[in-house]
Structure 1
């Protein structure tokens, strides 16, 4: 039995090379003739989105090289420690600023109290509706039970009356 490959082999007419391309059609040929496969396929309701890596993403971020402060002269030495202390000071200020904003409540929405009140009222109305529904059900159950009792009592009363008539008929 012949196994089906996932790739389609096409001869390249310009160079004579053989291209090994995926059968599903998810590839792109660049201007330079390179075949790019998608980095990721996103399946959406309106189709398939192919995400290719770009040249910018492929470049690695430049990592700041380590500077040995002992090998620096006085000017660059002072500048190095000034920039390091300034960046650490900025990080500390950023951290403390976030914590102080949280402590004083600056990060909460402006009208949060109104939203909380609305939520509380909705919950209260739902509880009232639930309680009213339970009361109506209990009242209906009570009425049903009273009707059942009264219908059985009426039946007993009718039977007693029929029994009295028979007694009076026999005595005559």
Structure 2
């Protein structure tokens, strides 16, 4: 059994790499997946050290370590579907995403899936989402829609969870 927290993180990153390689994901997707796990773990640590209010403020202010670029960032949600903090889309803050998004462009009920996975302890969700520069969330033209991978990490002892997502070309 691995007891050292740093060894656990390293083991998890290596396990993620192995699994993604086994499924044929490209090197960039593997690298982004490792980054997502690390960002989620860092978010948990920050939350544990600084509490809810400071964590929300830091995420909403687009500050590292919660945002890497326009495609890779951390959000904070609760298990009812309320987006509590979002660095890239202020209009989603304090919105019940179950009412805002019903399905992705391919018909997948991705918010329901995110909540289900969060309640089961977290892991990965794949869905399709519009690229941020398309600006209009209603655009469903294929050139605006890209596969997205989301890592979900619940905060122990709460009804909250972090998500770290990134766009990829590895899923169709």
Task: Provide TM-score, normalisation by structure 1.
Answer: 0.17
Q: Comparing both structures, which one devotes a greater share of its residues to strand?
A: 2
Find the structure with the greater CA-based Rg: 1
Greater RCO (CA < 8 Å, at least 6 residues apart): 2
Q: Comparing both structures, which one devotes a greater share of its residues to helix?
A: 1
Task: Provide TM-score, normalisation by structure 2.
Answer: 0.17
